[in-house]
Structure 1
């Protein structure tokens, strides 16, 4: 497994891809923080009149005026309205009108695959989000891909040279997207160990979190035979790929709506393998959701991969067979896959 986020890498990412989005006073504060404390930086959160937050290893930290990490709000730097105003214009490159689609979506994907989420006043038109005005917060998420994150699970989701229909189940921020991304990468590019030259994969990346496309180009490695539908609703994307791209596998993230289930049934019935994810703590948890329960009861999935945090983010808690729900993961329970 290759985790390339060392001091040199995170410094380059910050200097060239993240800090140019921020006002100079905040840039200077973050640059005062020792770089070894920022290697596992995941998010930078800005809220007007509230402390500037750094999320490191899934924990919130604040910065004082000396660039020291603190847990005391009274000693932390508090983001100003002017900081929010400047950040918005840096992100939009002073062109708000060309930014309307991103505002409707509530986020923008940047070069490097990083993602900025917005909060503010939502304006509706015909019950749909028209735009977000009076931006009141930013969440800058640092893109992190972990090459080899899928090494431990691949032997369980390949059989006779074919990928199996697989559902990855995990709580929020427990590594399911990182795992899915590396499964896609390896199955697309080929796995010599299993005699697989590579599958044609159609990826429906509705929230731009898997491939993290910027101007149509994936910023993360999703393999050499992967076709990406970026910012496309899952159900529509699955049907489009079936009609136009002749995929061996279709992958997508976070299913749950009834139309998702209908599209997945259609794909599986045509012989296409589905690899996808769902929020939940275990199989019983997602069975409480009527839409996903339909797929489970009909036996559409051959494997269920359960992730958790028992040994840290990305712990493999179980891998279940689809026909009898037997746990076939014989390694030490809670074996961690390194996830960003």
Structure 2
């Protein structure tokens, strides 16, 4: 939290603290700064608008220079990605006018909005899921985690990586290769992970998945490859190359049902080749991290909605009591 507050101008920090209680400050999820508009503070239980904080265009330029550490190179590179990573894994998303060159985003100019997202790793968020994605010898099964936005996919992936890497919660330890294309899982800063991803995990950040998978296999000989948000058919092809090389997979995709993912061109190859051994569906209606259904490679249900609660994730700060359910290994 201190890394977030330290990057903000002191008068903004002061006004935010005047607007929320000390306990609510611990529930801070986002601070959205918008030029010539009120600042929005997003907490667990509510969202408030602070009219007295409205960035001017000049203040926006100064803030952008501050968070990019006055580095022109870093500024150019991170404006292409649309976000800047802070120490601790916190991220500042950017929006404004986009410059296009040869059909590709070159940069975001005239930044008009900043979204400061507070990162909190939730150790143990995959505690209830892990037994469902390992075989009887505690080895990893190829797994696809499916859920709509804000159902905890990234948080759960991060904790699964940590558990596999450090041989926790029943797993045998494995070398993990994380292809973190959007730098959301490990949140590397100068190449160093800012989030807990385990001692045997090697990270390839800001790299396209398909290319990163091949590079990781060639250079680091991982036993497990992890990617977040499969979005293109070439991602699936890269993952299949990993399977053919004897590497296990953990990945995620947007969706709500079997029908959803069966229609997704991006994962057709994985489904056709029966490369995925476990499909874990997260529940939109329940708190993030709740398992709705689990299926095997033939889409036979092996675990139905018993509202298996993992742990709260970054966007879920409500008090909740986990339901501890014994999960038998039905394989």
Q: TM-score, normalised by structure 1?
A: 0.87
Q: Which residue of 1 aligns with 2:3?
A: 17
Q: Return closer, same or farther for 1:57/1:280 CA change in 2, 3 Å cut-off.
A: farther
Unaligned runs of 5+ in 2: 315-331
What is the CA distance between 1:280 and its match in structure 2? 1.1
Residue correspondence of structure 1 range 122-133 to structure 2 within 5 A: 122-133=98-109
What is the CA distance between 1:60 and its match in structure 2? 3.2
Q: Secondary structure at the match of 1:250?
A: strand
Q: Which residue of 1 aligns with 2:154?
A: 177
What is the CA distance between 1:173 and its match in structure 2? 1.4
Q: Return closer, same or farther for 1:298/1:81 CA change in 2, 3 Å cut-off.
A: same
Q: C-alpha separation between the residues in 2 aligned to 1:154 and 1:98? A: 38
Q: Which residue of 2 aligns with 1:54?
A: 41
**1:30-80 superposed Cα distances (whole Å, 9 cap, x missing partner):** 122212112221111111122211122385322355xxxxxxxxxxx4443
Q: Secondary structure at the match of 1:144?
A: coil
Q: Does 2:260 match 1:285?
A: yes
Q: C-alpha separation between the residues in 1 aligned to 2:74 and 2:160? A: 35
Q: Does 2:214 match 1:239?
A: yes
Q: Does 2:275 match 1:300?
A: yes
Q: Which residue of 2 aligns with 1:261?
A: 236
Q: C-alpha separation between the residues in 2 aligned to 1:273 and 1:63? A: 48
Q: C-alpha separation between the residues in 1 aligned to 2:205 and 2:45? A: 27
Q: Return closer, same or farther for 1:99/1:150 CA change in 2, 3 Å cut-off.
A: same
Q: C-alpha separation between the residues in 2 aligned to 1:51 and 1:328? A: 46
Q: Does 2:280 match 1:310?
A: no
Residue correspondence of structure 1 range 112-127 to structure 2 within 5 A: 112-127=88-103
Residue correspondence of structure 1 range 152-191 to structure 2 within 5 A: 152-159=128-135, 160-191=137-168
Instruction: Name which structure has the greater RCO, CA cutoff 8 Å, separation 6+.
Output: 2
What is the CA distance between 1:229 and its match in structure 2? 0.3
Q: Which residue of 2 aligns with 1:74?
A: none
Q: Does 2:67 match 1:91?
A: yes
What is the CA distance between 1:197 and its match in structure 2? 4.2
Q: Secondary structure at the match of 1:327?
A: strand
Q: Which residue of 2 aligns with 1:44?
A: 31
Q: Is the 8 A contact 1:166 1:276 kept in 2?
A: yes
Q: Is the 8 A contact 1:317 1:335 kept in 2?
A: no
What is the CA distance between 1:132 and its match in structure 2? 1.6
Q: Secondary structure at the match of 1:207?
A: coil
What is the CA distance between 1:270 and its match in structure 2? 1.6
Question: Would you say how many aligned residue pairs link Structure 1 and Structure 2?
Answer: 312
- Of stretches 304-313 and 270-279 in structure 1, the one that deviates more from structure 2 is 304-313
Q: C-alpha separation between the residues in 1 aligned to 2:233 and 2:91? A: 28
Q: Which residue of 2 aligns with 1:251?
A: 226
Q: Which residue of 1 aligns with 2:78?
A: 102
Q: Which residue of 2 aligns with 1:335?
A: 309
Q: Is the 8 A contact 2:257 2:281 kept in 1?
A: yes
What is the CA distance between 1:134 and its match in structure 2? 0.8
Unaligned runs of 5+ in 1: 1-12, 66-76
Q: C-alpha separation between the residues in 2 aligned to 1:268 and 1:50? A: 50
**Structure 1 runs of 4+ with >6 Å offset:** none
